[in-house]
Structure 1
Amino acid sequence: MNTTTEISSSAVRQIRLIAAVEVRRLLSQTKGLMTLAAYVLLWLLLLLFVIRDAVNMMQQPQAYDMVMGLFGDGAFSNLFKWPVAEYAVYWVFAIMLHPMFATMLSAGQFADDIQRGTFRFLSLHCSRTSLFFGRFAGALLVMALLTAATVLITMVMALVRAPQLASDAVLGGLLMWLVIMAIILPYIALMSLLSVIAANSKQAIIYAVLYFTLLTIVIWAANMLFTPLTNLNYLLPGAFSEDFYRSTPAQAIQHLLLPLGQSVLFLGLGYYAFRRSDV
């Protein structure tokens, strides 16, 4: 029992150390810094201009009637029911953009090491299990920090406009961050799989584009030709994003089973491929 406990404790320590190294690696390489710079600039533009202006528009009495006239009683009309208007607008952009950046930032989990041939050196210092899940945890941690930063800035914007919303802003921001992390989880897990079989991070991104594009086309064709194939939707991260657009973070919790299941599937396949690889 003690031996098993020591092995498990050692594996956890290795995963934690590898995750920390992965964070430093992504934040120090030129490619990673360029992606992060694009991420920061894009969100600054959205927060300072688009989201702020959208919130100001939502405060106008005629705004709700205009949205109802354009889109009907659908996802966008539900945004007016949020207690913190800034979060409602942020939610729409977060569901669209965070998965895209998660895909790009996590593409090099293993592919770059495969290209450089450094896996044999790394395997001398830790197990493949620790290396696989450590790299995944590192990519997840990077996105957790970046997402938390954007949520925090949005929270500050809301509190500057309406200090009386402090309770809703803090609790709602924390819940929204947790739900967004669950939404982007399968994208990072998918890249854990694709980066194992790709020759480099660029190829991993190409594989991801092909995966989403081809699977979307197959599902679209299945709607007309062979309906059972539409169940392939369940293998496509983000396929049911409309459920999240129509929900607040509290309501979205009931839809998280699918992205969590997709994450387990992709991680399982990636771990199997990693264990079977000869790198």
Structure 2
Amino acid sequence: MHKYPLIIQDLSVAYQKKPVLRDITFQVPEGQLIGIVGPNGAGKSTLIKAALGLIPRLSGNVTIYGKPYTEQRKLVGYVPQRESVDWDFPTNALDVVMMGRYGHLGWFKRPGNAEKRIAMECLAKVGMADFAGRQISQLSGGQQQRIFLARALAQDAKLYFMDEPFVGVDAATEKAIITLLNELKKQGKTVLVVHHDLATVKEYFDWLMLLNIELIDFGPTEQTFTTYKLQQTYGGRLTILDRDHPSALITNGR
């Protein structure tokens, strides 16, 4: 198998002729937890959606393990932003997680006991086994996020994209998510996470992407997470709380 889980070359995206991403090129090393940070409107979610073919690209080439995404769907798991989901849809937690198994079943095959067992194991991993029969609309924000993570786990992918999984969740859920991400990493999986809390970047991620329409930098966190590079990324929108500890940062807005 091709050694790079994700290679993006010369990717540009525009909305109504306004550039949202410009000439983005990078290759992702395997088995790393990778954070994607940048100010509002930097193109972080757009990058993921363009890589997955969910929105049109002006230009550029995206390969997953050396092939187009359309040929590698089974290898990719995606956790969208929670607010982009219709939580009033009448379905329960177990059914949502079972959806993660459809790529393994092929056409016209209904999920059976084996799929149900895998889905329940994934719910247990995120502490949600007791909520399997609960309607998704009756779950809290943190519980909904855990259900989505369980669905991604059920896919048994090699490359995961997660769009702001920590937003609006309680401390216990945040801890559960990062434990899960580290477990995926131990299994040799690669995870890209759109993230907005700069204070946890050094603790959570092995590699970091600094994005603001253009790619500012991408590399190991200890090399990219510097005051200078963060100023380049956020401009005047960056407030540094402690100059001796660049990880102690806040931004005005996400």
Please give the TM-score of this superposition, normalised by the length of structure 2. 0.25
Larger Rg: 1
More helix by share: 1
More strand by share: 2
